[in-house]
Amino acid sequence: MHKSQLRAKLSGARAEMSDAMRTEAGRALRDAVLDLPQVRMAGTVAAYYSVGTEPDTRGLVYALWKRGTYVLLPVMLPDGDLDWASYEGPASLVPGRHGLLEPAEPLRGVAAVARADAVIVPALAVARSTGVRLGRGAGCYDRALARVGGQIPVIALLYDDELVDSLPADPHDRQVTHVARPSHGISAVS
In the chain (190 residues long), the average pLDDT of successive 10-residue segments reads 85 93 95 96 96 94 97 94 96 87 95 97 94 83 92 96 89 91 93
Do residues 74 and 48 touch, judged by C-beta distance below 8 A?
yes
Q: pTM for the full model?
A: 0.94
Q: What is the spatial distance between Cα 25 and Cα 186, in angstroms, rounded to a whole number?
A: 13
| pLDDT for 136 | 80
Architecture of domain 3-188: 3-Layer(aba) Sandwich (3.40)
Packing angle, helices 58-66 and 19-35, rounded to 10: 30
| pLDDT for 18 | 94
Going by the DSSP 8-state scheme, the letter that residue 106 receives in this structure is P
Residues 6+ apart with CB under 8 A from 71: 44, 45, 46, 47, 61, 64, 65, 86, 87
Helix (H) or strand (E) holding 167: none
In degrees and rounded to multiples of 5, residue 157 shows phi and psi of -95, 125
